Amino acid sequence: MKNLWFKITIVVVVVLALAGAAGGWYYSLTRYSDGYCAVFLSNSQVYFGKVAINGWKELKITDVYYLQVNTGSQVATSDSLNSETDISTAGVSLNKLGNELHGPKDEMIINRNHILFIERLKSDSKVVQAIESFQK
């Protein structure tokens, strides 16, 4: 009888620990749902957009933008944001996902194992201002 209570106690502790971990992970992602975020990936890419949960192992980004360094030999295209929304004097422009040759939809599903960290962007950040300017 004593052995049975010990096993039940162990099972309850494990279930509560798993539920707490899942709840903490869920909460950590839902706090990014208001406004734009920067998502830094393990392959050194950074994407900007609206972050949402997409199951336990994935993150969904919509209204996706990314930075592109414009070298002197590159020709500006109409698919990138205009020069008024360049966010740096170093020739960095913000591009909208969806205008690429392969024609992706304006959303990304990312395995959370490839996410290094997520930052919420302030409404007065240069990236958010460039996005809002593009949308007008």
Q: Which pLDDT value is given to residue 46?
A: 94
Q: Are residues 115 and 49 in the same domain?
A: yes
Q: Which pLDDT value is given to residue 71?
A: 73
Q: Are residues 17 and 46 in the same domain?
A: no
Q: Are residues 24 and 72 in the same domain?
A: no
For the chain, give the DSSP string: -HHHHHHHHHHHHHHHHHHHHHHHHHHHHHTT-SS-EEEEETTS-EEEEEEEE-SSSEEEEEEEEEEEE--TTPPP-TTBPPGGG---TTSEEEEETT-STT---SEEEEEGGGEEEEEEPPTTSHHHHHHHHHH-
Q: For the chain, what is the domain count?
A: 2
Q: Are residues 26 and 80 in the same domain?
A: no
Q: Which pLDDT value is given to residue 30?
A: 57
Model pLDDT for residues 15-57, shown as the tens digit of each residue: 888 877 777 666 655 556 678 999 999 999 999 999 987 777 8
CATH number for 50: 2.30.30.100
Cα 44 to Cα 42: distance, rounded to the nearest angstrom: 5
Q: How many CB atoms lie within 10 A of CB 71?
A: 7
Q: Are residues 88 and 65 in the same domain?
A: yes
Q: Are residues 80 and 107 in the same domain?
A: yes
Q: The domain containing residue 112 runs over which residues?
A: 34-135
